[in-house]
Structure 1
């Protein structure tokens, strides 16, 4: 091999190594980018539900681990946002645990949306609160190694627990020197687990001296029975941010009136059982996604500057889409009530 050929080979070897490094070396960041607006009557089916002339759509954001190329690109693209890893995943949480937590939260969001829609439509729904689901465990705290993700907490020191607020109130009354006996259900087996208490790690920004057993993001395990029946299939979409749009699509199918009025309507926002709409992340990227999917109206939560950020993004991309602020399900319904047929 002559000298020029060797030099050429070395140059290409260096290029290949650099490209591999830029592509495959992950950084302690996640990158979020605009996703899609997905038509909801394709994933929600109320038995005997009415048809509509327009569409309600949920909006998504794509999330992935950032490599060097994506990190650099995000510096020049306002709608590619870098988020530190510890703001996405909890300390010690694996990718599988994070993914499962997002699916659990999505399931809870669907349940809340169904409750809101059926009650607003005066349809039959039976609500049963079964306990509190463990969705996160803090490494090194008392629950670590004793509780598992998916455990259902049903009693605290012999007292029945039905929902998250009740559990947090009970556990908040203990001191560092105390112990507590939790009754849990795991894979259809009931068992008792004794736990101590410890101060939260600094990363969790808890008040000084505050102690706990070390579970995070507990979720009320709620089951519902509805008439008419409903089926929801969201595949692998996770997170709570589609709650508002789920409730509107379900309500639209339950009632005779076409609440879309013939428009393509996107939006975002969490929802609780009382119909209150909460803030979400990635609102600017969701505006881009909705606009790219042809949405004409977008419902944006008011809280945490979501609506202001949505307006800013809409102005930046020069969208014709009408951005509507909402704080509750009722706000969205009132807007649709006065909307003229297309």
Structure 2
């Protein structure tokens, strides 16, 4: 190849590199999800005087990121990489920061439910007290947009305080379109007064509101003490696995029986397991991490989808269906300890 052709090839390569870099800054209205990792919970959850375990309980994550033209094309040819509309993740008008705050709020609520369920199942002391109503999302085009932020704590409305999000919703729901309310809100440990006119919802003109998704927060007091250090992981899907880890530390014996156990599913304070998203990708991630057992919620078709993924990747990992905390514990109680 002569010098002229080499120079031409070099220019084409440079142009291609610049084009590829430029395309990474082009944001498409889609998100790419793919299998994430397995995170062992024992190092992150410490119950005072808690038992150790020979195996492990792990929560599962799904990697999520905004799509650009390059990642979009890559996802098209990669197994268990899914392209999903941005609306599946973010509310209309919701910023990236608001989305992350909402996810972290859901994780915090999930931790509370896991602690309550585990302590009550183990017969240990647990006390809950109301700790406020928090904004979990803001609806674009409604009165709260630009006035309330995700994470704000609503102290009172018209001087009236509330003991649950449901109670607050009922109060506002009894107002009329155009009525003015005065809110006391706490943000960054500072209180502020906000006034707004209520508005009818487009999808339900007979119903008025602020356009705020709400979440009831609780203060949970337990004995023995517990320390949970799970940061930068959002959403409620780790509820079941956190509950199992806490329960295992609270009680005698080792529920893992020496096995590496992963799984997913929401958890409510009464011990019910709920459906989650990304179950197939979590099965793939759990298998990649070397887990031997995977708990999958029955609800929402999660278990059926988990079986499909397990068969597809030819995993030896046992997929176990669960509807409640008791389902998982009953399975573990019948499990023979792993031979060493």
| TM-score of the superposed pair, with normalisation by structure 2 | 0.91
Q: 1:49·1:254 contact (CA, 8 Å) conserved in 2?
A: yes
Which deviations, in whole Å up to 9, do the C-alpha atoms of 1:157-188 show, x marking residues without a partner? 44431222322333333332333333333344
Counterparts of 1:1-16 in structure 2, within 5 Å, are: 4=5, 7-8=8-9, 10-16=11-17
Alignment of 1:147-226 (within 5 A): 147-200=148-201, 206-216=203-213, 218-226=214-222
Partner Cα distance (2:69, 2:146) in 1: 35
Q: Is the 8 A contact 1:283 1:306 kept in 2?
A: yes
Pick aligned residue for 2:289 from 283, 286, 293: 293
- How far apart are 1:98 and its partner, in Å? 1.8
Give the structure 1 partner of residue 109 of structure 2: 108
Moved more, 151-160 or 321-330: 151-160
Structure 2 partner of 1:18: 19
Matched residue, 2:223: 227
Alignment match of 1:329 (pick from 320, 325, 329): 325
Q: Which runs of 5+ in 1 are unaligned?
A: none
CA distance in 2, matches of 1:185, 1:15: 51
Segments of 5+ residues of structure 2 without an aligned counterpart are: none
Shift of 1:3: 6.1
1:86 matched to 2:79? The reply is no
* Stretch moving more, 8-17 or 246-255: 8-17
Check 1:19–1:183 CA distance in 2 against 1; reply closer, same or farther (3 A cut): closer
TM-score by length of 1: 0.91
Q: 1:284 corresponds to which residue?
A: 280
Contact 2:263 2:296 in 1 (8 A): yes
Q: Which residue of 2 aligns with 1:259?
A: 255
Check whether the contact 2:262–2:295 (CA below 8 A) recurs between aligned residues: yes
CA contact (8 A) 2:241 2:263 kept: yes
Q: Deviations over 1:165-223 (max 9, x none)?
A: 3223333333323333333333444454333222335xxxx44543320112x221211
Separation (CA, whole Å) in 2 of partners of 1:94 and 1:177: 27
CA distance, structure 2, for counterparts of residue 177 and residue 23 of structure 1: 45
Aligned partner of residue 142 in structure 1, secondary structure: coil
Distance 1:164 1:329 in 2: 26
Q: Which 10-residue stretch deviates more, 189-198 or 280-289?
A: 189-198
